[in-house]
Amino acid sequence: MRCTHKSIANVVVLTVALLLCSAASEAAHSPSTGLTNIFSPESTPAKSIFNLSMFVLAVTGIIFAVVFTLLVYSVVKFRGNPADAGREPAQVYGSTQIELAWTIIPILIVVVLFLATARVIHAVQDAPKPATAVEVTVIGHQFWWEYRYPRLGIVTANELHIPVSDPAHPTPTFLQLLSADTDHSFWIPQLAGKTDLIPNHPNRMWMDPQRTGLFLGQCAQYCGTQHAKMLLRVSVDTPEDFGAWVRAQQRPAIQDQKVAAGRRVFETTACINCHAVGGSAANGRFGPDLTHLMSRETIASGAAENTKENLRLWIQKPDAIKPGSLMPAMQLSDADLDALVNYLETLQ
């Protein structure tokens, strides 16, 4: 009976160890689930972290293997035997040499790990900002992201566009991180580690993605009721696409006389208390800028696709998409709602 227990224990522990390793490696290689995987880095800070993490995992893995073996060995080898009942084993009180050994070796390991860590801290955190860098100010709000490109005169929300960075001619993006209310944290696992957005405490981070595409993440610091649906989308564009996107965003809002009724609804209700539309009377700042709303794929900070039905639902009953969000239910008549949505849909 005693032996069975121990072998079960060994099997359990071994399975556990294998599971940990295999899950990590599976995660590293699975394309379908890799969109937020920290082990598939696509930018210099994330790659530096990845290299350090492999080193740290290797060192701790070796420590684990050694101590695990010692533990299993001592539990198996020194198990009591009913025949020994009543007889006590040799009483050993300690050994200075052994204590010294298992003090000094760990200290040496700590020194090595620390030096490796300090190097990457410095490389990532103290990286100089090149003149070619794109600057974006990120402002965390309950529960959405505001992006401002101060040099380009762009204000947008929730979907960040940045240029791909060619290692030969790097165009990294440097983010200035601010918060309008509570603490948030900006985390795109494939591009960089996370950095918090804290009121009265400006932070910065940078990334230089080396392939184009969509990168996902979400707010990582608990910020209130809808922390879970404060999603992040970063579109890494070719230089040409990025340039085109910038030019489109710099234009004032389209003014289409066919949707004047909807525009009137927008400008005469509470919408403009929080939302801005460039070149119109709407200049609210509590909610996302809507000047180019239809250039975005999602609404409600990534919580829903940007479709006509979702826009209607979001305006009339935001709790259906994101309960606890600060967008009020607008209580519009069907006619006003249709007109409003038609107007919003012209904001390309």
Interaction residues for another protein, span 34-63 (CB under 8 A): 34-39, 45-46, 48-49, 52-53, 56-57, 60, 63
Applying CB under 8 A, the span of 214-222, 264-272, 279-287, 338-346 interacting with another protein comes to: 214-222
Binding status of residue 114 toward another protein by CB under 8 A: yes
Binding status of residue 89 toward another protein by CB under 8 A: yes
Q: What's the first-to-final CA gap in the chain, in angstroms?
A: 73
What's the burial of 127, exposed, middle or buried (CB within 10 Å: 0-12/13-18/19+)? middle
Binding status of residue 80 toward another protein by CB under 8 A: yes
295 contacts 246 by C-beta, under 8 angstroms = no
Binding status of residue 4 toward another protein by CB under 8 A: no
Q: Which of 11, 19, 58, 335 binds another protein (CB under 8 A)?
A: 19
Using CB under 8 A as the criterion, what x/- string covers residues 172-201 for binding another protein?
A: -----x---xxx-x-x-x--xxxxx-xxxx
Q: Which of 7, 11, 23, 307 binds another protein (CB under 8 A)?
A: 23
Applying CB under 8 A, the span of 227-235, 237-245, 278-286, 290-298 interacting with another protein comes to: 227-235
Which residues face 195 on adjacent strands? 186
Applying CB under 8 A, the span of 105-113, 266-274, 276-284, 287-295 interacting with another protein comes to: 105-113
Q: Compute the distance between CA of residue 30 and CA of residue 76 in angstroms, rounded to an integer.
A: 38
Q: Which of 137, 171, 176, 204 binds another protein (CB under 8 A)?
A: 204
Task: Identify the three-state secondary structure at position 234.
Answer: strand
Task: Identify the three-state secondary structure at position 211.
Answer: coil
Q: Compute the distance between CA of residue 45 and CA of residue 206 in angstroms, rounded to an integer.
A: 8
Binding status of residue 221 toward another protein by CB under 8 A: yes
Least distance (Å) from another protein to the CB of residue 219?
7
The DSSP line for 129-145 is PPTT-EEEEEEEETTEE
Spatial CA neighbour of 318 closest among 299, 343, 294, 339: 299
Binding status of residue 103 toward another protein by CB under 8 A: yes
Binding status of residue 290 toward another protein by CB under 8 A: no
Enclosing H/E stretch for 197 = strand 195-197
272 contacts 281 by C-beta, under 8 angstroms = yes
Least distance (Å) from another protein to the CB of residue 12?
7
Binding status of residue 24 toward another protein by CB under 8 A: yes
Q: How many residues bind another protein (CB under 8 A)?
A: 106
CA 24 from chain centre, in angstroms, equals 18
253 contacts 279 by C-beta, under 8 angstroms = yes
Query: Within 10 A of 311 (CB to CB), how many other CB atoms are there?
Result: 22
Applying CB under 8 A, the span of 80-88, 264-272, 307-315, 329-337 interacting with another protein comes to: 80-88
Least distance (Å) from another protein to the CB of residue 62?
10
Q: What residue type is assigned to position 260 of the chain?
A: A
Least distance (Å) from another protein to the CB of residue 209?
16
Which residues face 201 on adjacent strands? 198
Q: Which of 223, 271, 341, 347 binds another protein (CB under 8 A)?
A: 223
